[in-house]
Structure 1
Amino acid sequence: MTFMQSSKRYLSVVFAALFMLTSLISVQAQAAMVGTNEVIAQQQLTVDRAELKGMLQDEAVQEKLASMGVSPDQVDQRIDSLTADELAYFNTQLDEAPAGAGVVGVIVLFLVIFIITDMLCATDIFSFIHCINR
């Protein structure tokens, strides 16, 4: 047998083993129907977050949060970490608030968010609030 024939045989065995190995490991994709309710809920979550972040663009709110030592980045991170139920609750509370109390309502809302995240050990902004997970 010549060198060329033996190397072809060796390569064919290696490639056959490689083919069998990759076919066993391959991941199969599964598709499923996505319900309309799931799509609407996801879009509503996005809209609620954008609405809440839009309320923070007010200068009075920005100044008050800065005076409390809270950066806009922290606020954005916390809004992004809220669940859909929490966002819906906060947005309904803000919608029901009187028109003149918008700034105060937003500030109180974020104080509540900060207190909850401090209690859950996610942050440590207020030193007088102790973590409930310890």
Structure 2
Amino acid sequence: MKLLQSTKRYISIMLTALFMLTSLASIQAQASTTMVGTHELIAEEKLNLDRDALKGMLADEAVQDKLASMGVSPDQVEKRINSLTASELAQFNAQLDNAPAGAGVVGVIVLFLVIFAVTDILCVTNIYSFINCAR
């Protein structure tokens, strides 16, 4: 009888220690995972939607003709749109919202020209020969 009680006690101590070790390992594993907040996901999705809307404006034939006459390919424009930061994209969309209704195509073209000038200044591209790199 005494042997059975001491065996039970020994097994219960071992099982308790094993349970505590596995619990600590799972807590440590949970703490190391990175959680992404809802606001971060919403901001990223809004950025993607803004980029898609801008690329949709680029699909307009009049815009493509005007850019082609200036020697700028649609691929270059798309690369630059993809490289815009969230604040630059928000500023651009605000400018588009404030533009008059009939000036949409001209506004888009002027915006792309400004974006090209900024990327030339930042040494990302070299489209305009009269703009020197800032470096």
Query: Considering the TM-score relative to the shorter chain, is it more than 0.5?
Result: yes
Q: For structure 1, which runs of at least 5 residues remain unmatched after alignment?
A: 1-27
CA RMSD of superposed structures (Å): 1.3
May I ask how many residue pairs the two structures share in their alignment?
A: 106
2:44 to 35, 42, 64: 42
CA distance in 2, matches of 1:122, 1:102: 27
List 4+ stretches of structure 1 deviating above 3 A: none
Letter in 2 for 1:110: F
Please list the CA deviations of residues 29-84 of structure 1 after superposition, one character each: whole Å capped at 9, or x if unmatched: 94222111101110011001001000111111000000000001000000000001
Partners of 2:62 and 2:134 lie apart in 1 by 32
Bigger proportion of residues as helix: 2
Return the offset for 1:97.
Answer: 0.5
Q: In percent, how many aligned pairs have the same letter?
A: 70
Task: Select 2:127's aligned residue among 119, 125, 128.
Answer: 125
Deviation of 1:107 (Å): 0.3
Structure with larger Rg: 2
Question: Hey, what's the Cα distance between the residues in 2 that align with 1:115 and 1:72?
Answer: 16
* 2:68 counterpart of 1:66: yes
Which residue matches 1:76?
A: 78
Gapped regions of structure 2 (runs ≥ 5): 1-28
Matched ranges for 1:1-134 at <5 A: 30-133=32-135
Provide, for residues 89-131 of structure 1, a one-character-per-residue CA deviation record: whole Å limited to 9, x for no partner: 1011111101000000000000000000000111110000001
1:31 and 1:98 mapped to 2: Cα distance? 48
Q: Which residue does the alignment assign to 1:20?
A: none
Q: CA deviation digits over 1:17-39, x for unaligned, max 9? A: xxxxxxxxxxx894222111101
